[in-house]
Amino acid sequence: MIDTSDKKIIVFDLDGTLAESKQVLGLEMAELLARLAGQKKVAVISGGSYRQFQKQFLPTWREILNERPAEEVQSLNENLFLLPTSGSQIYGYNQKMGDWQILAQEDFPAELKEKVKKVFETIVESADYDIPTESYGEQLEDRGTQITFSALGQDAPLGKKKIWDPNQVKRQKIKKFLEQEIPEADVSIGGATSIDVLPKGFNKAVGLQKLLDLLFLEKNDLIFVGDALFPGGNDYSAFVAGFETVKVENPLETSDLIGKFLS
Ligand SMILES: [Mg+2]
């Protein structure tokens, strides 16, 4: 049993933890998060861009707050922090704007971006990595403070994504090659088919620490919940950095866990 009574902030990974990969947040999950945000701060971290949060997370969040009194809505919004691109951007709620606003962001040097893009071109063209020649939408997305590779394309159907690399074997191989070629980058496995690249030294753990600094909180004020808390996974850095972590297999397990946090 995890005791959250002394915790001030609970951070959740998004894809595979709060929602299925790239799928809209469920109403029930949003309701649980809102109840949690009534008690403490809640943050959601993802390899995805803020635009992805606007599509995947915020519509459901806003929908479940609709029925609540304005004062409560404001305090719940103020307790919600959004960390796109692995926490290399931090968004907090701005009451005047009535929206989330960027509070902090990292720098990704242009030369490094070019290098990352070139190496991915080599990978896609190679027959060694089982990457289909036809992709669903963009394979390589520059998310400003992070570059993300989606092996089947950004818009691939979930069913196809789930069977491409369920054990991360293909992506571990790609990761190894990237690390050899670009020692100045940090590479991690995320989502169902994706690989996130950030400048060396940046990962979700650094994002979590930046958030704590912004909020004047300590490391042991935080619990992190994620599905990729295995070596090479894009949540693993949080474990390595010594944050208290809880590994879940899927959103269903997360909702059970939040239920326990609330009781
Ligand atoms: Mg995940």
Q: Which of 147, 14, 21 is nearest to 82 (CA)?
A: 14
Q: Residue 23 Cα, ligand 1 centroid: separation in angstroms? A: 12
Instruction: Enumerate helices (H) and strands (E) in the chain, giving the number of each.
Output: 10, 11
Q: Give percent above pLDDT 90 in the chain.
A: 87
Q: Are 234 and 228 in contact (CB under 8 A)?
A: yes
**What digits encode the pLDDT tens for the residues 48-84?**
899 999 999 999 999 999 989 999 999 999 999 999 9
Distance in Å, CA 165 to ligand 1 centroid:
14
Q: Sign of torsion, CA 53 54 58 63?
A: negative
Separation of CA 197 and ligand 1 centre (Å): 15
CA of 35 to the centre of ligand 1 (A): 22
pLDDT tens digits, 150-206: 999 989 998 999 999 999 999 999 999 999 999 999 998 877 899 999 999 899 999
Q: CB-based burial of residue 30 (10 Å sphere; 0-12 exposed, 13-18 middle, 19+ buried)? A: buried
pLDDT in tens, 133-155: 889 999 999 988 999 999 999 89
Centroid of ligand 1 to alpha carbon of 234 (angstroms): 7
Q: Which CATH architecture does the domain made up of 9-106+202-262 adopt?
A: 3-Layer(aba) Sandwich (3.40)
Q: Kindly give the distance from the C-alpha atom of residue 251 to the centroid of ligand 1, in angstroms, as a whole number.
A: 10
Q: Determine the distance separating the centroid of ligand 1 and the alpha carbon of 134, expressed in angstroms.
A: 25
* Residue ranges of domains in the chain: 9-106+202-262, 110-199
Q: Which residues pair with 58 in a beta bridge?
A: none
H/E run at residue 131: none
Element housing 43 (H / E):
strand 41-45
Q: Indicate the average pLDDT of the chain.
A: 94
Task: Specify the CATH superfamily of domain 110-199.
Answer: Eukaryotic phosphomannomutase, cap domain (3.30.1240.20)
pTM for the whole structure = 0.85
CA atoms within 13 A on the CB side of 33: 33
Cα 71 to averaged position of ligand 1 atoms, centre (Å): 32
Residue 86: pLDDT above 80? yes
User: From CA 191, how far away is CA 208, in angstroms rounded?
Assistant: 19
Alpha helices, DSSP H only, in the chain? Answer: 27-37, 50-56, 58-65, 70-78, 110-125, 158-164, 169-181, 204-214, 236-240, 251-262
Q: Please determine whether the domains at 9-106+202-262 and 110-199 fall in the same fold group of CATH.
A: no
Per residue in 29-43, pLDDT (tens digit) is 999 999 999 999 999
In which order are the strands placed within the sheet that holds 41-45? 99-105, 89-94, 80-83, 41-45, 9-13, 222-226, 244-247
Query: How many whole angstroms from 236 Cα to the centroid of ligand 1?
Result: 10
Neighbours of 188 (CB within 10 A): 22
Predicted pLDDT of residue 4: 87
Query: Do 171 and 115 contact (CB within 8 A), yes or no?
Result: no
